[in-house]
Structure 1
Protein backbone atom coordinates (compact mmCIF):
# COMPACT_ATOMS: atom_id res chain seq x y z
CA UNK A 1 0.00 0.00 0.00
CA UNK A 2 2.76 2.45 0.97
CA UNK A 3 4.79 1.60 -2.16
CA UNK A 4 1.85 2.08 -4.50
CA UNK A 5 1.01 5.39 -2.84
CA UNK A 6 4.64 6.50 -3.23
CA UNK A 7 4.66 5.51 -6.90
CA UNK A 8 1.42 7.44 -7.45
CA UNK A 9 2.81 10.52 -5.70
CA UNK A 10 6.03 10.59 -7.70
CA UNK A 11 4.15 9.89 -10.94
CA UNK A 12 1.97 12.92 -10.18
CA UNK A 13 5.07 14.98 -9.49
CA UNK A 14 6.67 13.99 -12.79
CA UNK A 15 3.40 14.75 -14.58
CA UNK A 16 3.38 18.20 -12.97
CA UNK A 17 6.84 18.91 -14.40
CA UNK A 18 5.74 17.95 -17.91
CA UNK A 19 2.64 20.15 -17.56
CA UNK A 20 4.76 22.98 -16.16
CA UNK A 21 7.08 22.67 -19.16
CA UNK A 22 4.07 23.25 -21.42
CA UNK A 23 3.03 26.35 -19.50
CA UNK A 24 6.53 27.82 -19.49
CA UNK A 25 6.91 27.13 -23.22
CA UNK A 26 3.61 28.84 -24.04
CA UNK A 27 4.52 31.95 -22.06
CA UNK A 28 8.04 32.07 -23.47
CA UNK A 29 7.23 31.42 -27.14
CA UNK A 30 4.70 34.23 -27.14
CA UNK A 31 7.89 36.33 -27.15
CA UNK A 32 6.39 38.86 -24.78
CA UNK A 33 8.84 37.94 -22.04
CA UNK A 34 8.98 34.84 -19.88
CA UNK A 35 8.18 34.12 -16.22
CA UNK A 36 10.43 35.72 -13.57
CA UNK A 37 11.80 32.31 -12.52
CA UNK A 38 12.89 31.37 -16.05
CA UNK A 39 14.02 34.84 -17.15
CA UNK A 40 17.79 34.32 -16.50
CA UNK A 41 18.11 31.09 -18.53
CA UNK A 42 15.86 32.47 -21.27
CA UNK A 43 17.91 35.65 -21.74
CA UNK A 44 21.11 33.60 -21.57
CA UNK A 45 19.82 31.29 -24.32
CA UNK A 46 20.06 34.16 -26.83
CA UNK A 47 23.84 34.33 -26.53
CA UNK A 48 25.06 30.80 -25.70
CA UNK A 49 24.78 27.59 -27.77
CA UNK A 50 22.68 25.84 -25.12
CA UNK A 51 18.92 25.39 -25.25
CA UNK A 52 16.52 27.22 -22.95
CA UNK A 53 15.47 23.92 -21.40
CA UNK A 54 19.02 22.84 -20.64
CA UNK A 55 19.87 26.24 -19.15
CA UNK A 56 16.76 25.92 -16.97
CA UNK A 57 18.06 22.52 -15.86
CA UNK A 58 21.41 24.07 -14.88
CA UNK A 59 19.66 26.84 -12.96
CA UNK A 60 17.66 24.26 -11.00
CA UNK A 61 20.88 22.44 -10.11
CA UNK A 62 22.26 25.75 -8.79
CA UNK A 63 19.09 26.26 -6.72
CA UNK A 64 19.56 22.83 -5.11
CA UNK A 65 23.25 23.52 -4.44
CA UNK A 66 22.39 26.81 -2.71
CA UNK A 67 19.84 24.98 -0.54
CA UNK A 68 22.48 22.43 0.49
CA UNK A 69 24.92 25.23 1.38
CA UNK A 70 22.30 27.21 3.32
CA UNK A 71 20.76 24.30 5.23
CA UNK A 72 23.78 22.05 5.68
CA UNK A 73 22.79 19.02 7.76
CA UNK A 74 19.20 20.31 7.86
CA UNK A 75 18.85 19.59 4.15
CA UNK A 76 16.73 16.43 4.21
CA UNK A 77 18.00 13.39 2.37
CA UNK A 78 14.86 12.96 0.27
CA UNK A 79 15.24 16.51 -1.04
CA UNK A 80 18.21 15.37 -3.11
CA UNK A 81 15.52 14.06 -5.44
CA UNK A 82 15.08 17.70 -6.46
CA UNK A 83 18.04 16.99 -8.74
CA UNK A 84 15.63 15.01 -10.93
CA UNK A 85 13.50 18.10 -11.50
CA UNK A 86 16.04 19.90 -13.68
CA UNK A 87 16.45 17.22 -16.37
CA UNK A 88 12.72 16.40 -16.55
CA UNK A 89 11.59 20.03 -16.63
CA UNK A 90 14.35 21.02 -19.05
CA UNK A 91 13.48 18.20 -21.46
CA UNK A 92 9.78 19.07 -21.17
CA UNK A 93 10.45 22.73 -22.02
CA UNK A 94 12.57 21.84 -25.06
CA UNK A 95 10.08 19.20 -26.22
CA UNK A 96 7.02 21.42 -25.92
CA UNK A 97 8.92 24.33 -27.48
CA UNK A 98 9.62 22.26 -30.61
CA UNK A 99 5.90 21.53 -30.97
CA UNK A 100 4.64 25.05 -30.18
CA UNK A 101 7.22 26.66 -32.50
CA UNK A 102 5.38 25.05 -35.43
CA UNK A 103 2.30 27.18 -34.71
CA UNK A 104 3.72 30.61 -33.87
CA UNK A 105 1.91 33.77 -34.94
CA UNK A 106 2.58 37.50 -35.02
CA UNK A 107 -0.95 38.32 -33.83
CA UNK A 108 -0.48 40.24 -30.58
CA UNK A 109 -3.83 39.18 -29.07
CA UNK A 110 -3.00 35.53 -29.73
CA UNK A 111 0.37 36.07 -28.07
CA UNK A 112 -1.33 37.56 -25.01
CA UNK A 113 -3.66 34.57 -25.00
CA UNK A 114 -0.62 32.26 -25.02
CA UNK A 115 0.81 34.08 -22.00
CA UNK A 116 -2.45 33.84 -20.04
CA UNK A 117 -3.02 30.19 -21.00
CA UNK A 118 0.58 29.40 -20.07
CA UNK A 119 0.10 31.05 -16.66
CA UNK A 120 -3.07 29.00 -16.05
CA UNK A 121 -1.20 25.79 -16.94
CA UNK A 122 1.75 26.71 -14.69
CA UNK A 123 -0.68 27.35 -11.81
CA UNK A 124 -2.40 24.00 -12.43
CA UNK A 125 0.97 22.21 -12.55
CA UNK A 126 1.79 23.72 -9.15
CA UNK A 127 -1.48 22.35 -7.78
CA UNK A 128 -0.53 18.89 -9.10
CA UNK A 129 2.83 19.22 -7.30
CA UNK A 130 1.07 20.16 -4.07
CA UNK A 131 -1.25 17.19 -4.53
CA UNK A 132 1.74 14.88 -5.04
CA UNK A 133 3.24 16.19 -1.78
CA UNK A 134 6.75 14.80 -2.28
CA UNK A 135 9.95 16.82 -2.83
CA UNK A 136 10.14 20.57 -3.35
CA UNK A 137 10.48 22.11 -6.76
CA UNK A 138 14.02 23.66 -6.60
CA UNK A 139 12.63 27.16 -7.23
CA UNK A 140 10.26 26.69 -4.28
CA UNK A 141 12.86 24.92 -2.19
CA UNK A 142 15.41 27.72 -2.38
CA UNK A 143 12.78 30.30 -1.33
CA UNK A 144 11.77 28.07 1.60
CA UNK A 145 15.42 27.70 2.63
CA UNK A 146 16.08 31.45 2.50
CA UNK A 147 12.85 32.18 4.40
CA UNK A 148 13.81 29.62 7.05
CA UNK A 149 17.36 30.92 7.51
CA UNK A 150 16.28 34.59 7.59
CA UNK A 151 13.11 33.97 9.62
CA UNK A 152 11.05 35.85 7.03
CA UNK A 153 7.69 35.09 5.44
CA UNK A 154 7.76 32.79 2.40
CA UNK A 155 5.63 35.24 0.35
CA UNK A 156 7.97 38.16 1.05
CA UNK A 157 11.07 36.15 0.12
CA UNK A 158 9.33 34.86 -3.02
CA UNK A 159 8.66 38.43 -4.17
CA UNK A 160 12.26 39.53 -3.54
CA UNK A 161 13.57 36.35 -5.16
CA UNK A 162 11.53 36.89 -8.34
CA UNK A 163 12.63 40.52 -8.56
CA UNK A 164 16.26 39.45 -8.14
CA UNK A 165 15.95 36.91 -10.96
CA UNK A 166 14.46 39.54 -13.29
CA UNK A 167 17.31 41.93 -12.44
CA UNK A 168 19.82 39.16 -13.18
CA UNK A 169 18.07 38.53 -16.51
CA UNK A 170 18.27 42.24 -17.38
CA UNK A 171 21.99 42.30 -16.55
CA UNK A 172 22.62 39.21 -18.69
CA UNK A 173 20.68 40.80 -21.54
CA UNK A 174 22.56 44.13 -21.38
CA UNK A 175 25.99 42.52 -21.04
CA UNK A 176 25.57 39.91 -23.78
CA UNK A 177 23.19 41.61 -26.21
CA UNK A 178 23.43 45.31 -25.43
CA UNK A 179 19.64 45.54 -25.17
CA UNK A 180 16.68 44.12 -23.24
CA UNK A 181 15.57 40.71 -24.46
CA UNK A 182 13.35 38.18 -22.74
CA UNK A 183 11.82 40.54 -20.16
CA UNK A 184 8.63 42.23 -21.31
CA UNK A 185 4.97 42.62 -20.44
CA UNK A 186 4.53 38.84 -20.33
CA UNK A 187 7.00 38.75 -17.43
CA UNK A 188 4.92 41.28 -15.50
CA UNK A 189 1.64 39.52 -16.33
CA UNK A 190 2.92 36.14 -15.16
CA UNK A 191 4.39 37.67 -11.98
CA UNK A 192 1.02 39.23 -11.15
CA UNK A 193 -1.46 36.47 -12.01
CA UNK A 194 0.18 33.10 -11.32
CA UNK A 195 0.14 33.50 -7.51
CA UNK A 196 -3.56 34.44 -7.28
CA UNK A 197 -4.42 31.64 -9.73
CA UNK A 198 -2.64 29.10 -7.53
CA UNK A 199 -4.55 30.32 -4.46
CA UNK A 200 -7.86 30.11 -6.33
CA UNK A 201 -7.12 26.62 -7.66
CA UNK A 202 -6.11 25.53 -4.14
CA UNK A 203 -9.63 26.46 -2.93
CA UNK A 204 -11.16 24.40 -5.72
CA UNK A 205 -8.93 21.33 -5.98
CA UNK A 206 -7.20 20.91 -2.57
Structure 2
Protein backbone atom coordinates (compact mmCIF):
# COMPACT_ATOMS: atom_id res chain seq x y z
CA UNK A 1 0.00 0.00 0.00
CA UNK A 2 2.73 2.50 0.90
CA UNK A 3 4.83 1.62 -2.15
CA UNK A 4 1.71 2.16 -4.27
CA UNK A 5 1.21 5.54 -2.57
CA UNK A 6 4.76 6.51 -3.57
CA UNK A 7 4.07 5.40 -7.14
CA UNK A 8 0.86 7.44 -7.28
CA UNK A 9 2.64 10.54 -5.96
CA UNK A 10 5.75 10.25 -8.14
CA UNK A 11 4.22 8.66 -11.26
CA UNK A 12 6.89 8.77 -14.02
CA UNK A 13 9.59 9.75 -11.51
CA UNK A 14 9.05 6.56 -9.49
CA UNK A 15 12.17 4.42 -9.83
CA UNK A 16 11.62 0.69 -10.36
CA UNK A 17 14.40 -0.09 -7.89
CA UNK A 18 12.10 1.22 -5.14
CA UNK A 19 10.06 -1.97 -5.57
CA UNK A 20 12.86 -3.58 -3.55
CA UNK A 21 11.15 -2.02 -0.53
CA UNK A 22 8.85 -5.04 -0.56
CA UNK A 23 11.51 -7.74 0.02
CA UNK A 24 13.32 -5.38 2.42
CA UNK A 25 10.09 -5.12 4.39
CA UNK A 26 9.80 -8.92 4.51
CA UNK A 27 13.39 -9.20 5.77
CA UNK A 28 12.66 -6.48 8.34
CA UNK A 29 9.69 -8.52 9.56
CA UNK A 30 11.91 -11.57 10.05
CA UNK A 31 14.50 -9.50 11.94
CA UNK A 32 11.69 -8.07 14.06
CA UNK A 33 10.55 -11.57 15.00
CA UNK A 34 14.12 -12.60 15.83
CA UNK A 35 14.57 -9.47 17.98
CA UNK A 36 11.33 -10.23 19.84
CA UNK A 37 12.52 -13.77 20.48
CA UNK A 38 15.99 -12.60 21.59
CA UNK A 39 14.58 -10.04 24.03
CA UNK A 40 11.66 -12.01 25.46
CA UNK A 41 13.63 -12.46 28.70
CA UNK A 42 13.46 -8.71 29.43
CA UNK A 43 10.95 -8.07 32.20
CA UNK A 44 8.45 -5.30 31.67
CA UNK A 45 5.56 -6.02 34.00
CA UNK A 46 5.74 -2.66 35.77
CA UNK A 47 4.25 0.32 33.96
CA UNK A 48 7.48 2.35 34.25
CA UNK A 49 9.39 -0.53 32.62
CA UNK A 50 6.94 -0.52 29.72
CA UNK A 51 7.48 3.22 29.27
CA UNK A 52 11.24 2.79 29.45
CA UNK A 53 11.06 0.25 26.61
CA UNK A 54 8.74 2.51 24.59
CA UNK A 55 11.14 5.45 24.95
CA UNK A 56 14.15 3.27 24.10
CA UNK A 57 12.30 2.03 21.02
CA UNK A 58 11.45 5.58 19.97
CA UNK A 59 15.11 6.64 20.18
CA UNK A 60 16.30 3.48 18.41
CA UNK A 61 13.77 3.98 15.60
CA UNK A 62 14.75 7.63 15.30
CA UNK A 63 18.41 6.69 14.90
CA UNK A 64 17.51 3.96 12.40
CA UNK A 65 15.45 6.37 10.31
CA UNK A 66 18.36 8.84 10.26
CA UNK A 67 20.54 6.01 8.91
CA UNK A 68 17.94 5.22 6.23
CA UNK A 69 17.69 8.84 5.12
CA UNK A 70 21.48 9.32 5.04
CA UNK A 71 21.93 6.08 3.10
CA UNK A 72 19.91 7.37 0.14
CA UNK A 73 19.05 3.86 -0.94
CA UNK A 74 16.17 1.47 -0.34
CA UNK A 75 14.18 2.42 2.74
CA UNK A 76 11.34 0.78 4.60
CA UNK A 77 8.08 1.62 2.84
CA UNK A 78 6.72 3.77 5.68
CA UNK A 79 9.75 6.03 5.84
CA UNK A 80 10.06 6.12 2.04
CA UNK A 81 6.42 7.23 1.79
CA UNK A 82 7.02 10.00 4.33
CA UNK A 83 10.20 11.08 2.51
CA UNK A 84 8.31 11.11 -0.80
CA UNK A 85 5.52 13.25 0.67
CA UNK A 86 7.99 15.64 2.35
CA UNK A 87 10.09 15.95 -0.82
CA UNK A 88 7.07 16.55 -3.05
CA UNK A 89 5.54 19.12 -0.70
CA UNK A 90 8.87 20.96 -0.60
CA UNK A 91 9.19 20.74 -4.37
CA UNK A 92 5.70 22.07 -5.05
CA UNK A 93 5.39 24.65 -2.29
CA UNK A 94 8.98 25.58 -1.49
CA UNK A 95 11.31 24.25 1.17
CA UNK A 96 9.22 25.37 4.11
CA UNK A 97 10.20 24.05 7.50
CA UNK A 98 6.72 22.57 7.87
CA UNK A 99 7.53 20.16 5.03
CA UNK A 100 10.69 18.84 6.68
CA UNK A 101 10.79 15.07 7.13
CA UNK A 102 10.27 15.18 10.92
CA UNK A 103 7.08 17.22 10.71
CA UNK A 104 5.64 15.12 7.89
CA UNK A 105 6.57 11.96 9.84
CA UNK A 106 4.63 13.17 12.88
CA UNK A 107 1.55 14.02 10.78
CA UNK A 108 1.73 10.72 8.89
CA UNK A 109 2.15 8.62 12.04
CA UNK A 110 -0.68 10.44 13.82
CA UNK A 111 -2.89 9.82 10.78
CA UNK A 112 -2.05 6.10 10.80
CA UNK A 113 -2.56 5.71 14.56
CA UNK A 114 -5.83 7.66 14.43
CA UNK A 115 -7.02 5.46 11.57
CA UNK A 116 -6.11 2.34 13.54
CA UNK A 117 -8.04 3.64 16.56
CA UNK A 118 -11.13 4.45 14.48
CA UNK A 119 -11.01 1.06 12.75
CA UNK A 120 -10.56 -0.77 16.06
CA UNK A 121 -13.57 0.95 17.60
CA UNK A 122 -15.64 0.49 14.41
CA UNK A 123 -14.95 -3.20 13.90
CA UNK A 124 -14.13 -4.46 17.39
CA UNK A 125 -16.32 -2.16 19.43
CA UNK A 126 -13.37 -1.17 21.61
CA UNK A 127 -10.04 0.58 21.41
CA UNK A 128 -7.80 -2.45 20.96
CA UNK A 129 -4.12 -2.44 20.04
CA UNK A 130 -3.74 1.33 20.31
CA UNK A 131 -2.67 2.65 23.68
CA UNK A 132 -0.63 5.49 25.06
CA UNK A 133 2.69 3.99 23.92
CA UNK A 134 1.46 3.89 20.33
CA UNK A 135 0.30 7.50 20.57
CA UNK A 136 3.62 8.54 22.12
CA UNK A 137 5.52 6.80 19.33
CA UNK A 138 3.39 8.54 16.70
CA UNK A 139 4.23 11.92 18.21
CA UNK A 140 7.83 11.35 19.26
CA UNK A 141 9.53 9.33 16.51
CA UNK A 142 9.27 12.19 14.01
CA UNK A 143 10.37 14.64 16.70
CA UNK A 144 13.37 12.42 17.49
CA UNK A 145 14.34 12.25 13.82
CA UNK A 146 13.96 16.04 13.55
CA UNK A 147 16.36 16.50 16.48
CA UNK A 148 18.86 13.76 15.53
CA UNK A 149 19.07 14.42 11.78
CA UNK A 150 21.20 17.59 12.10
CA UNK A 151 23.58 15.72 14.42
CA UNK A 152 23.76 12.35 12.64
CA UNK A 153 23.05 13.36 9.04
CA UNK A 154 26.33 15.08 8.14
CA UNK A 155 28.68 12.42 9.57
CA UNK A 156 26.56 9.64 8.06
CA UNK A 157 26.61 11.39 4.67
CA UNK A 158 30.41 11.76 4.88
CA UNK A 159 30.69 8.06 5.70
CA UNK A 160 28.36 7.18 2.79
CA UNK A 161 30.36 9.30 0.34
CA UNK A 162 33.79 8.06 1.44
Normalised by the shorter chain, which TM-score bucket? 0.7 to 0.9
Question: Of the two structures, which has the highest relative contact order with CA contacts closer than 8 Å and spacing of 6 or more?
Answer: 1
Structure-2 separation of matches of 1:74 and 1:182: 37
The total of aligned residue pairs comes to: 145
Q: The residue matched to 1:126 in structure 2 has which SS?
A: helix
1:151 equivalent to 2:92? Answer: yes
Shift of 1:74: 1.3
Q: The residue matched to 2:39 in structure 1 has which SS?
A: helix
CA change 1:120–1:165 in 2 (3 A) is same
CA change 1:203–1:151 in 2 (3 A) is closer
Q: Where do 1:5-154 residues align within 5 Å?
A: 62-147=1-86, 148=88, 151=92, 153-154=99-100
1:188 equivalent to 2:135? Answer: yes
What RMSD in Å do the two structures reach over aligned CA positions? Answer: 2.5
Q: The residue matched to 1:102 in structure 2 has which SS?
A: coil
Question: Aligned residue for 2:115?
Answer: 168
Structure-2 separation of matches of 1:158 and 1:88: 23
Structure-1 separation of matches of 2:113 and 2:149: 27
CA contact (8 A) 2:62 2:145 kept: yes
Unaligned ranges ≥5, structure 2: 94-98, 155-162
Please report the TM-score for the alignment, with normalisation by the length of structure 1. 0.60
Structure-2 separation of matches of 1:91 and 1:85: 10
Unaligned ranges ≥5, structure 1: 1-61
Structure-2 separation of matches of 1:131 and 1:142: 16
